Structure 1
Amino acid sequence: MASPSPLFLLLILLFSILPSPTSPSSINDTPSTYIVSVHPDAVKPSIFPTHSHWYQSSLSSLLSPSPPLLIHTYTGAAFHGFSVKLSPTQALLLRAQPHVLSLLPDRLRRLHTTRSPHFLGLGTSTDSAGLLKDSDFGSDLVVAVLDTGISPDRQSFHVRDLPPVPTKWKGSCVNTPDFPSSSCNRKLVGAKFFCAGYEATNEFRSPRDSDGHGTHTASIAAGRYVYPASTLGYARGLAAGMAPKARLAVYKVCWTAGCYDSDILAAFDAAVADGVDVISLSVGGVVVPYYLDAIAIGAFGAMDRGIFVSASAGNGGPGALTVTNVAPWVTTVGAGTLDRDFPADVKLGNGKVIPGMSVYSGPGLAPGKTYPLVYAGTQAGDGYSSSLCLEGSLDPKFVAGKIVMCDRGINSRAAKGEVPNSPPPTATIVFKGTRLGVKPAPVVASFSARGPNPESPEILKPDLVAPGLNILAAWPDKVSPSGIPSDHRTTEFNILSGTSMACPHVSGLAALLKAAHPEWSPAAIKSAFMTTAYTVDNRGETMLDESDFGSGHVHPQKAMDPGLVYDLTTFDYVDFLCNSNYTEQNIKVVTRKNADCSGARRAGHSGNLNYPSMAVVFQQYGIKQKMSTHFIRTVTNVGDGESVYSARVVAPAGMAATVKPEKLVFRRVGQKLNFLVRVQTRVAKLAPGGSVMKSGFIVWSDGKHNVTSPIVVTLQQPL
């Protein structure tokens, strides 16, 4: 499936946010919020005491009876500039000021809505060895969660046996009527909220969580050990986050309507200034060029300060080109299954059994009895909304005592389960509780967004997958497990699914790796995850393809000792953007650095970014029958001082792949060596607009470590 070119998308965006100066009569002057990027080398005039005064003065010069007021002033920790509501005319005038670099439209993002530690091989707090012990359970690390806030009184956030807050921490806890500053402690070290971009009206104007999503993701990343833990009688056992002793800093950026870029960027800026070590973001939106993407910009600013950023891949699967948060400096996480499920069979009156899953906790249906089965779209309500079983759309009198079949659709979480089980046909439901040892596992969840990467096809996304289906984690006491107002049940834990749940698994694991290897860069941590990931399920079968799972499923224990890493600096990313044909001004918007692209473009192509995976798209133009490309990579020895690695290359089917040299001889830890992989292929017979993806891999092995990178080749026939 072909995607619109970045240039075409950019032109659409520019014409949509800025009016034509030649036709003022046609201008729609309805104000919109813009994020204003200020030149990083622009110096604040000394006449102004603060940057806020300077920026407000800039707004005073705009044509308006009263100048617009600032929404956010960004400190410069992750982004240099401010956000403000402007008319299109005012936006044009502001853009013309010499210290203004660019204007980004404020976009709305959406949330990408315990057995996982055991499934990942992390064991329990009594382990005598392994990643948990070597990292002291992440004790001195701070994980920032940008989400819907937190419910601080949950058992997962208790302070028992935690040492004092790390002295490097510079953050704070806001004080509001429903969230006093005493809510923070040695576990929850910081809590702030950002709602200026979206003025919430019916929610806590504080870091307190009125949705549940933020509490859930925070406890996945860094929840303490809690036993017994379950929800509605399901998934009973020990609950724990990935980094049980890591500290949490919560930045509430998501509200009922969603999460606005201006607030997200303010949270990035605050988190970097506060001194966090990891940022976890289970939020996403449409893919746009990086210089128009506030998450990509904020994440770059964090990465530039040595902060690891992980983000959810999105829930748009299983279709291709659905992955979000695709910048190469972000670790993009898809969702896989656990070896645990909650089986429930629908047994039809004709004897046919349809397997499914359920966490229904009420009384079971009468054994041997069947109930009328009705379709909500035609028999139980008003059509479209009833077909999705939206709350209030079904006729209670009609559906009472029946089993209602709904379409999968937009309704949130478990709302479809709130209708009582509502002529022939008939059916019954048999609930079977919790089942362990499920095979196959892991499997990439159907909803998990897939590649290829729509913005940078030569960067394989998602990067990897982690548990994201039916995840048990902490839940606010004032939010029902279904999230439906008419549901008055409460629970300490809840089960949710989504790449939102997969992302904080990797965030917490990154805290463990950073604690065990404080000298590792964010790119080195990502590399350790990717090159040690596995692609074989518990039946010994290979999981689908790399556009689904990237490098594979995260393997924490092996990531602790990867042998070699593919490291990157901020200047490597600048070269990547140059080779991606970004202008030097657009690169400055993302990186806050001046870029001279002439040297970078002479040196190679965007696929030569020192990434732990290798991907290329061949456009089958003209009469050329053979095509080839090369990947130049540099690996850094983080294993044994003296070691020899030999390469094994498995080419994509029907293609040829070679590596030079075939051996890498290291003399010391920290030594860097280069190699080159060349891939050759012939033109494939494809229909106009068609494409085919094939994959192989390269493994560097010293007998102890296996450093694996996928090689993915896409052949595409133009229309």
Structure 2
Amino acid sequence: MQGVVSVFGSRILELHTTRSWDFMGLTLDNGRATPMQLAFGADVIAGILDSGSVWPESESFHEEHGMRPIPSSWKGECEEGENFNPATACNHKLIRAGTARGGGPRAQLAVYKVCWNQKGVGFCSEADIMAAFHDALKDGVHVISASIVRAPPLPPFFKSHADIGSFHAMQLGVTVVFSAGNQNSAPHSSLVQNVSLWSTSEAASSIDRTFPTKIVLDGNLPFMGGSLITTQINGVLADAGSFFQDRICSHDYYNNVNVSASGKVVLCFSNVGLVLSDIAIDAVQNASGLALTFAKPLARQIPDVDAVPTVHVDLQQGTRIWNYLGLAGRRPVSIQIIPGKGVVGKSPAPAVAYFSCRGPSSLSPDILKARVAALIKSIHPDRSPAAIRSALMTTENAASEVILAGGSAKASDPFDVGAGHLNPIKAMDPGQVHDMKTSDYIIFLCNMGNTQNQISLMVRPGTDTTCPHYFTSTSNLNYPAITVSHLQTTTTVKRTVRNVGRNRNTLYYPKIIKPKTSIYVVQGRDYILCDAQTKENIPGEV
């Protein structure tokens, strides 16, 4: 059919679900902000692909003081939707239809609905995702954010709507940021879910803020947990065994014959039946429980705003609460859950979230990946998506500090943390960048065994998809991280860097932080970059 590049089935993908920016160094306080940060993402349109759930009354969608008019490059419209009136809801901030704020609060937002809610879970059609990419690029967005995933096994790139859409965006100079993925099971390797070389993946980590919540039994026995509840809860403590078979807090184990947890705060354990807090919350809600006390291993999950008020405690405190309840016998045990104030700077941070998916990529193990993209784009509108990704990856806090792996007290490795923990301030002025062109990505696709016809299904019309006659190692692609899979002999890898710093004449000294099992040697102890056009080839041996 004329005009049709390819036809394949549309699958259903999953939707992923604040001190955060202050913790990373971004502040709304003009007195503490850097000169470049004061741009706050101005003149940048960020396209958001998600459920399209917009609450115009939220401060997140109000016009910031000093916001500029909508850029003339914008070609889209603010359209009417369910419970959404563009005449009253759209402004200079929301130009197309949480207490959270973004890293570039003066960026304009264009929201594209690709996901729908089914029983509390977000589901997204790949056909809608492809249409949203097309609309966003036609409308003139500068950055696209999409927290949508397909769990492994991953399809080839030329059969993935998100990868095709993001490739088209890259060719038009639009940066695409995906979520790396969340996994409810233990943090195993190779579960990272958005792995295309031409996009940027971001994972989840912790911040240095906790939400201590006091638990008091019988008016005088205190415990400490964590939650986001805002009002005190008074009830009667009850063990999960009173309502659930084998004490497994799951709807499938509910003893629903004349049993109600009304007025009760149910005590559940994650290691009894291996249940997640979401499962336990649904089960307690179904049993009409007043609240949930959920005992789990340390650092496995951060508090959330839940359907049933939930306070998280570690296994040690949960066991003490359970033992006290057992000693009470038939006597009711009163429980008070008293909310506290957020505490900053007292917890170890950053840590890779327990549920955050790890690398390496199951499709391309030679690539090690790292949203401050809108902020950087507003400061450097001429930067390519590769240059922005390079700025993010090469300035992250990886070597300068220990980043914990969530779910344990061990230090994270590169497959846990990627390029490191985001440092927005440094990313605005990285000094040098590793840039890439469409032809580099074509070589990458060729190396993965894709045919010219398969590659042509991904690219914009008129793109040369010819694979080179000679083999170019994927490890030599100009990516900001160096990964060599199946290393058996000495291998030479090359990188080219370009000066983008404010200093025209800059002397750089390579610093090597190598794995314990290999030796890495840089040829040349230093190099000079003179201006923005100066490039330097840096070979190294592993």
Q: TM exceeds 0.5?
A: yes
Contact 2:243 2:260 in 1 (8 A): no
Q: 1:645 to 1:388 in 2, by over 3 A?
A: farther
Q: Which amino acid in the other structure matches residue 139 of structure 1?
A: A
- 1:522 aligned onto 2:385: yes
Segments of structure 2 that go 5 or more residues without pairing to the other structure are 293-324, 405-409
Contact 1:109 1:261 in 2 (8 A): yes
Q: Which amino acid in the other structure matches residue 19 of structure 2?
A: R
Structure 2 counterpart of 1:329: 198
2:180 is aligned, of 301, 313, 321, to 313
2:8 is aligned, of 62, 82, 104, to 104
How far, CA to CA, are the matches of 2:124 and 2:254 in structure 1? 23
Structure 2 counterpart of 1:153: 57
Q: 1:177 to 1:551 in 2, by over 3 A?
A: closer
Give the CA deviation at 1:171. 0.6
Structure 1 counterpart of 2:344: 436
Structure 2 counterpart of 1:359: 228
Residue deviations 1:530-575 (CA, integer Å, cap 9, x gap): 1000036888989411111111011011111111101111111001
Residue deviations 1:577-628 (CA, integer Å, cap 9, x gap): 11122111111112243422133xx242112221111112217xxxxxx523
1:564 is aligned, of 416, 419, 432, to 432
1:260 is aligned, of 120, 125, 143, to 125
How far, CA to CA, are the matches of 1:570 and 1:353 in structure 2? 61
Give the CA deviation at 1:261. 0.4
Contact 1:535 1:543 in 2 (8 A): no
Q: Which amino acid in the other structure matches residue 117 of structure 2?
A: T
Alignment of 1:466-485 (within 5 A): none
Contact 1:143 1:280 in 2 (8 A): yes
How far, CA to CA, are the matches of 1:536 and 1:663 in structure 2? 20
654-663 or 400-409: bigger deviation: 400-409
Aligned to 1:558, the other structure's residue is in SS state helix
Q: 1:424 to 1:456 in 2, by over 3 A?
A: same
1:277 is aligned, of 142, 147, 167, to 142
Give the CA deviation at 1:392. 11
How many residues align? The count is 477
Q: 1:441 to 1:391 in 2, by over 3 A?
A: farther
How far, CA to CA, are the matches of 1:249 and 1:452 in structure 2? 32
Q: Which amino acid in the other structure matches residue 255 of structure 1?
A: W
Contact 2:47 2:145 in 1 (8 A): yes
Give the CA deviation at 1:396. 5.7
How far, CA to CA, are the matches of 2:530 and 2:42 in structure 1? 33
Give the CA deviation at 1:253. 0.6
Q: Which amino acid in the other structure matches residue 116 of structure 1?
A: S
How far, CA to CA, are the matches of 1:413 and 1:265 in structure 2? 36
Give the CA deviation at 1:158. 1.5
Structure 1 counterpart of 2:303: none
Aligned to 1:336, the other structure's residue is in SS state coil
Aligned to 2:131, the other structure's residue is in SS state helix
Contact 1:142 1:248 in 2 (8 A): yes
Aligned to 2:203, the other structure's residue is in SS state strand
Structure 1 counterpart of 2:312: none
Residue deviations 1:104-155 (CA, integer Å, cap 9, x gap): 2211111112212211111224236516545x21121101110111122322
Aligned to 2:47, the other structure's residue is in SS state strand
Give the CA deviation at 1:652. 1.4
Alignment of 1:268-417 (within 5 A): 268-286=133-151, 287-316=154-183, 318-344=187-213, 356-365=225-234, 372-375=237-240, 378-381=241-244, 386-387=249-250, 397-398=260-261, 400-405=263-268, 407=270, 408-409=275-276, 411=278, 415=282
1:424 is aligned, of 317, 321, 326, to 326
Q: Which amino acid in the other structure matches residue 121 of structure 1?
A: G
Give the CA deviation at 1:416. 6.3
How far, CA to CA, are the matches of 1:305 and 1:606 in structure 2? 23
- 1:244 aligned onto 2:101: no
- 1:170 aligned onto 2:75: yes
Structure 2 counterpart of 1:114: 18
Structure 1 counterpart of 2:367: 459
Q: 1:670 to 1:383 in 2, by over 3 A?
A: farther
How far, CA to CA, are the matches of 1:164 and 1:392 in structure 2? 59
Contact 1:386 1:394 in 2 (8 A): no
Alignment of 1:628-643 (within 5 A): 628-639=490-501, 640-643=503-506
How far, CA to CA, are the matches of 2:8 and 2:222 in structure 1? 53
How far, CA to CA, are the matches of 1:392 and 1:517 in structure 2? 61
Q: 1:540 to 1:158 in 2, by over 3 A?
A: closer
2:523 is aligned, of 649, 657, 660, to 660
How far, CA to CA, are the matches of 1:425 and 1:452 in structure 2? 49
Q: 1:176 to 1:454 in 2, by over 3 A?
A: closer
Aligned to 1:650, the other structure's residue is in SS state coil
- 1:647 aligned onto 2:518: no
Contact 2:249 2:280 in 1 (8 A): no
How far, CA to CA, are the matches of 1:278 and 1:288 in structure 2? 25
Structure 2 counterpart of 1:180: 85
Identity %: 34
How far, CA to CA, are the matches of 1:130 and 1:152 in structure 2? 30
Contact 2:261 2:290 in 1 (8 A): no
Give the CA deviation at 1:383. 7.3
Segments of structure 1 that go 5 or more residues without pairing to the other structure are 1-37, 39-43, 45-50, 52-80, 82-100, 192-215, 221-239, 464-505, 620-625, 680-719
